[in-house]
Chains A and B, each alone.
Chain A
Amino acid sequence: MLRIVLSRTLPRISGISNCQYSAAAIPVPSAQPEVHYNKLFINNEWQDAVSKRSFPTINPATGEVICQVAEADKADVDKAVKAAREAFRFGSPWRRMDASDRGLLLSRLADAIERDTAYLAELETLDNGKPYAVSYSVDVPMVVKCLRYYAGWADKWEGKTIPIDGDFFCYTRHEPIGVCGQIIPWNFPLLMQAWKLGPALATGNTVVMKVAEQTPLTALYVASLIKEVGFPPGVVNILPGMGPSAGSAIASHMDVDKVAFTGSTEVGHLIQQASGSSNLKKVTLELGGKSPNIIMSDANMAEAVEQSHFALFFNQGQCCCAGSRTYVQDTIYDEFMERSVARAKSRVVGDPFNMKTEQGPQVRNTEQFKKILGYISSGKREGAKLMCGGGVAADRGYFIQPTIFGDVQDGMTIAREEIFGPVMQILKFKTLEEVVERANDTKYGLAAAVFTKDIDKAHYISSGLRAGTVWINCYDVFGAQAPFGGYKYSGNGRELGEYGLDNYTEVKTVTIKVPQKNS
């Protein structure tokens, strides 16, 4: 799995001379990086929670407490919103700044993160459990690229002049929305932070961000870099806290103009409801998925097996876009199954700081851990065939064996619900039309993939699938340049790419009476 990610990421980086790192030079990590920041970041200052409460953050590989972190609640959200509102005041340094200077600040933030790549990767692995080699060569470089990408947009987000009827001159201004609440999950803590901050700051908004209680540490370190590179106070505020308290306070706040949420569909409903019952703040949602991955019989078998394995097991299966319904054409089903099982059995599960490790622990979340095991039981109970794995992988920490179910039927719970763990479902199909219909028979619509060498099949399926992202002969290919988001219950709006800017912009139409119009 790593091989794929690395081969996609590193040649690009090393394609340029003088780069700071290369594939061969992943530094030996410290498994006990020092934690520098554990408070709330409001107005460029570190603050205790108003309630003085704190909560423990835990290393999921060992179950041990890393440190206590200040726990934000409603009163802290109010403070942060005030700071963000003040930073957004008409005439403030942030509002008057040249757009190119906003871009320069984002570029400098990217530079600072790149400088601290090794430390941030260590901290991410400690707090989240993902293998260090992945944190170092996938998560952090993608963060840097995302911020650089949006840095470039800052002074290129152009309004229009519009030839309206009558003696008028008409133009649009692309203005920031205002104070943006952003609530991010624990599966890619740093990357989700960058996806959220990049477009919001490039377009000139201010931010109140709640980070997941399971993984607050890297976001707080990035907060220190935000201050270091020179963002004015109040532009970014970062609050570790719980969803039902701090998250809910953001979603229902009367002075937050927009909320962006990444997480479960269940909580997405709550966010949308909170907006409706408060100030109709704009809502963008990036939610769950049950993404189909379709393997046609003419596909390159080795590639398809490896990519499908990666599609599901990457990041311990904790991806909203995980390819969790692998549809395989009947004529190659048996061979595909055999090879997939062999691949899963060879997956190295263990200490995430070990360079050979492919799979670390699930994120520390007892409920989530039990839920995955519950899904595995339901698969067995409902008649799917357990091909490998199926249980806990270590006596401490939150490890689960790479698990594959065969003969999965569309009606089974494991084929309908998002598992968010290392559990792969393989289903059999016969025809093109059949598989498109079955693939779309879900409330989700986040991602999908098709493996085929046939150009007609590739186009037919990619047009027919109801999903925000379709990969052809590849999976989980993310570029900061390409939009990402869901159809149906998988969300609202798009992140990344130029499309990501729309969700952080108000368009203002200015119309001026003129004495006489000419073309």
Chain B
Amino acid sequence: LTGSHHPSNQVEQCKSPPSTVGKQGNMSSEPGNCQNHQDHDPDHGDAGPAKQTMPMPVPNLEVQYTKIFIDNEWHESCSGRKMPVHNPATGDLLCEVEEADTEDVDKAVQSARAAFQLGSPWRCMDASDRGLLLNRLADLVERDRLRLATLEALDSGKIFLMAYFVDLMATVKTLRYYGGWADKIQGKTIPVDGEYFTYTRHEPIGVCGQIIPWNFPVMMFAWKVAPALCCGNTVIIKPAEQTPLTALHMACLIKEAGFPPGVVNVLPGYGPTAGSAIAHHMDIDKIAFTGSTAVGKLIQKAAGDSNLKRVTLELGGKNPNIVFADCDLEYAVEQAHSGLFFNQGQCCLAGSRVFVEDSIYEEFVCRSAEKARNKVLGNPLVPGVDQGPQIDQKQFDKILELIESGKKEGATLECGGGPWNRNSLFIQPTVFSNVTDDMRIAREEIFGPVQQIMRFRSVNEVIQRANATHYGLAAGVFTNDIDKALTVSSALQAGMVWVNCYNAMSTQCPFGGFKMSGNGRELGEYALQEYTEVKAVTIKISQKNS
């Protein structure tokens, strides 16, 4: 792996086993909008000279930040408690981190509230300067990209090169994108009836609580803070207890970039304590949560029980990926594979119900199993490895339990089906065929490397089956027929539909779910609505003219 090509090609090289002859295009199936760079102009954009050689993890990385970040300062927890942070690939203890609880949340809210006072430096700042701060933060993330990617791989078990090329790239792009929006969030003047002049101001909501998951720790951090800050809010963000380290490094960069104290507060802690305190807090104006649907319900209830804070939710999925017989088969197999196995299957977007048309079903299953069998498991820091461990024992056990249910309920196990390497958190890439819609593996979110392949015959049938779920996050369609593509993409109840691609995400494009997959949208211009209050100002005037 002496890659001297463009980053996306390098990732392609280390993802594909040497024996696999696949379509180039793997990157287009991963989040983080790198996909467009593989086929154009290597002289521009993010392809700087620093990336001409394969990045390597920072050796013997020491964890620098382990405390609670409030008011631009590092604090110990009020309770004096700490929580352990492990490397899921080895089980080793990485460090102990201060554990935030209710009292720490109260401190953080006070700081965020003070930063949001009328007349504060943050409130008086030009919108373009808020944008400049976000751009500077992006520059700093770029500077520390290797360190952050290494930290992310150690803490979450994800493949280092994925962290580097996908997660960190998306983080930088998201910060830059919202940096640009800051001074473009425009109110309107409105031609109301009568002798009045009316205009709207798009104001920040206030103190925003944000609770993020462990599957894309630093990227989720950026998805949350970037739109919130660009609109002028202040933030209390709780990273997942499994993966607090990159969020704390980001806290340090936020201070370095020059954000005023209290604008961003980062509190590592557990859901039932710190998370719950945020969700119930009477002085938090808005909460944004990414995680499971079960916890999403708790958040919504907590808002109802407390101060009716605004709620946006990005929750689970059981996403259909529909493959018609007229598609490019090898490409569809590849996309469906990465659509499920990316990030150890730990994606809310995972294409976990692959519906394949009758006439190509056997061939599709055969090739998919072949692909899964060829995956290389191992240390996520080592080049050439393409699947790391699951995040923790609880998730690991849940995935194995669901695999067992699949076997019991009569699905055909094509490959995998158990743990890999005793006493570790690795799970064999698993493919089930002959899956029927009523099986648990076809209904429940597995969040692991387990692919379900179903058979269908007609367009109407597959639409109905694909929608027969309480989730509605994402969906894919593979076909060369423009009518089928447009019909199916209109009919699917999902926040994102990909046609002849999967996981093709970019910071410009909104993201969020129908039904029980969530509320509201992240990314794109749409996300700005979730972080603004609209104020209509009406002034009596002596005489109106057009």
Contacts and interface: CB of A to CB of B under 8 A. Distances in A.
Contact of A16 (B124, B129, B539): B129
B383 interface: no
B106 interface: no
A463 B545 contact: yes
Contact of B129 (A15, A101, A153): A15
B128 A100 contact: no
A518 B491 contact: yes
B258 interface: yes
A155 B177 contact: yes
Nearest to A464: B545
Given A97-B45, A100-B177, A103-B180, 16 more contacts: A16-B258, A17-B258, A96-B39, A98-B45, A99-B508, A100-B33, A100-B176, A100-B508, A101-B45, A103-B176, A104-B44, A104-B46, A107-B135, A153-B184, A156-B180, A498-B186
A383 interface: no
A96 B42 CA distance: 11
A514 interface: yes
Nearest to B180: A152
Contacts of B177: 100, 155-156
Interface in B278-314: none
B239 interface: no
Interface in B526-546: 539, 541-545
Nearest to B508: A155
B438 interface: no
B483 interface: yes
Contacts of A456: 541-542
A345 interface: no
Interface string A92-113: 0100111111011101000000
Contact of B184 (A101, A460, A498): A498
Which of A105, A459, A498, A517 has most B Cβ within 10 Å?
A: A459
A181 B197 CA distance: 39
Interface of B: prevailing SS:
helix
B508 A514 contact: no
Interface string A1-27: 000000000001001111000000000
Contacts of B33: 98, 100
Given A97-B40, A460-B541, A464-B545, A12 B180 contact: no
Interface residues of B, number: 49
B488 to A, nearest CB: 11
Contacts of B125: 15-16
Contacts of B525: 156, 158
B181 interface: yes
A512 interface: yes
Interface in B35-79: 36-37, 39-41, 43-46
A480 B41 CA distance: 30
Given A16-B132, A515-B483, A96 B180 contact: no
A460 B543 contact: yes
A498 B185 CA distance: 10
A309 interface: no
17 contacts: A16-B129, A16-B258, A18-B136, A93-B41, A96-B39, A97-B41, A101-B45, A101-B46, A148-B135, A152-B181, A169-B490, A232-B44, A459-B541, A463-B541, A463-B544, A464-B545, A515-B483
A98 B37 contact: yes
Interface in B490-546: 490-491, 507-508, 525, 539, 541-545
A222 B362 CA distance: 61
Interface in A440-495: 455-456, 459-460, 463-464, 480-481
A518 B181 contact: no
A518 B132 CA distance: 43
A152 B179 contact: yes
Contacts of A93: 40-41, 43-44
A156 B508 contact: yes
Interface in B229-262: 258
Given A104-B45, A156-B525, A515 B487 contact: yes
Contact of A100 (B121, B173, B539, B543): B173
B183 interface: yes
Contacts of A416: none
Which of B33, B45, B180, B491 has most A Cβ within 10 Å?
A: B180
A481 B184 contact: yes
A149 interface: yes
Contacts of A518: 490-491
